[in-house]
Amino acid sequence: AQSVTQLDSHVSVSEGTPVLLRCNYSSSYSPSLFWYVQHPNKGLQLLLKYTSAATLVKGINGFEAEFKKSETSFHLTKPSAHMSDAAEYFCVVSQTYSGTYKYIFGTGTRLKVLA
Amino acid sequence: DVKVTQSSRYLVKRTGEKVFLECVQDMDHENMFWYRQDPGLGLRLIYFSYDVKMKEKGDIPEGYSVSREKKERFSLILESASTNQTSMYLCASSLAVQETQYFGPGTRLLVL
């Protein structure tokens, strides 16, 4: 069965310091993996996605994520946090097999950026 | 840019009322989705549609129904609203089922 675990429900960083949001997944087949961001009172916006090409994926706003099959992880990173990065982040695994669609969301990580 | 719009940002309804949530996308996407979002639970799929008049149950379809009469429009219907349906409802669309989903701004529904 597929699942997604976001290891931290809340992360606080100081402005200008690195960001690490952790995501582990469980999947029987080669998945597609996504990170979405949700700013307060807004819908979700795609940050980046992995679809079995390069394992290091670059996204918008300086974010990137590395697909590590051996660790079943897809952690999101950014070298230097900005105040505007404060939001909730969702890791998603997507897979179709046997005619069944599955798009599984993690429970989210709320990022707080301190001045 | 893909644009997904939802008919209301905020709604207040009474228990037992029939509630309609409307979603429209402008990119000719085949697939449309309805989710509800609750704190600590992430997003949970209610229903999705892969074509006009076609629908599939998601993980939590009980108490909901959907309608897709036109490709661009996907409606979520609460037949008889209950307080446990108070939530944020998000609509999304995608070109292919397993690909990037584009989300609307959400409708925050309060059932009293």
- Residue A109 scores a pLDDT above 90: yes
Q: Are A49 and A57 in contact (CB under 8 A)?
A: yes
- Residues in B touching A107 (Cβ below 8 Å): 40-42
Would you call A5 an interface residue with chain B, using a CB distance cutoff of 8 Å? no
Q: pLDDT exceeding 90 applies to what percent of chain A?
A: 69
Question: What domain range includes position A104?
Answer: 3-114
Interface of A with B in 36-65 (CB under 8 A): 36, 41-46, 49
Dihedral sign, Cα of residue B31, residue A87, residue B1, residue A35:
negative
Residues of B with CB under 8 A from a CB of A: 4, 9, 33, 40-45, 48, 56, 90, 92, 97-106
Domain map (residue ranges) of chain B = 4-8+18-103
Instruction: Give the per-residue pLDDT at A29.
Output: 72
Instruction: Count CB pairs under 8 A between chains A and B.
Output: 50
Domain containing A87 — which CATH number? 2.60.40.10
- Residue A94 scores a pLDDT above 90: no
The CATH number of the domain covering residues in B4-8+18-103 = 2.60.40.10
Number of domains in chain A: 1
- Residue A102 scores a pLDDT above 90: no
Give helix then strand counts, H and E, for chain B: 0, 11
Would you call A108 an interface residue with chain B, using a CB distance cutoff of 8 Å? yes
